[in-house]
Amino acid sequence: VADSGQMEKDFDNLGGNRIFLEKAKALNPETTTTVVQDRIVDRVRRFEISGEYANTFGGDTYVRTGTFGVNGQFHINNNWSVGARYGMSYNKLTAEGDDLVARAISDHQKNPSSSTAPVPDIDYPKNIMMGFVNFYPLYGKISWLGKSVTHFDVYGQLGYGTMSLKSGSAPVLSGGGGIGLWWNQNMTTRLQMNYLDYTAQYYNGSI
């Protein structure tokens, strides 16, 4: 009699169903056989917390922003979750921004009383707080060279919150999507792309 605990462990293993797979191969050893199973990672009424790093592209020409943060979400069921995130931003001038600053400094040194070289006007992000809702319409699994299997979720996200800028705070809307890769029952990696919509303030008005 097979050990029931071991059978359950084999069945629940990500990339599992080894028992069924071995039986299928035994029936027809000349045919390559794979198994597609129902959802193994159950997220009904489950809490998830994670650290994150985000980088920006587009937006301001003269600065690039990286954000370290943390987010938590509660999975209502396997298709919907709600959550919140907080992130602190770190900003760095682009090559173009560095060049403009260098020109302005050089011009000021040569003409301290009448320098005219422009200095880039930047309203950079400092931190962000946001609530969001995720919808997970697709679930599947990936075979890595036939050696292991990772389960994944594809999801969309909508969010709303507050962006703290050098000039003050501004409301921010977010929309995007991503994929979550489940390495085991308790560990996931998320790859996500979001579009953020907020208003930055400049000396000549807002854009």
Interval 136-157: pLDDT, tens: 999 888 878 777 778 899 999 9
Per-residue pLDDT at 17 exceeds 80: no
Rounded-to-integer distance, Cα 160 and Cα 23, Å:
51
Q: What is the pLDDT of residue 52?
A: 95
Per-residue pLDDT at 171 exceeds 90: yes
**Per-residue pLDDT tens over the stretch 74-115:** 999 999 999 999 999 999 998 888 888 888 888 888 888 888
DSSP string, 60-103: -SSEEEEEEEEEEEEESSSSEEEEEEEEEEEEEE-HHHHHHHHH
Q: What is the pLDDT of residue 2?
A: 47
- Cα angle 54, 71, 51 (rounded to 5 degrees) comes to 60
What type of residue sits at position 73? Q
Q: What is the pLDDT of residue 3?
A: 54
Q: What is the pLDDT of residue 14?
A: 47
Q: What is the pLDDT of residue 8?
A: 47
Tell me which range, 32-41, 61-70, 155-164, 198-207, is most confidently predicted by mean pLDDT.
155-164
Per-residue pLDDT at 170 exceeds 80: yes
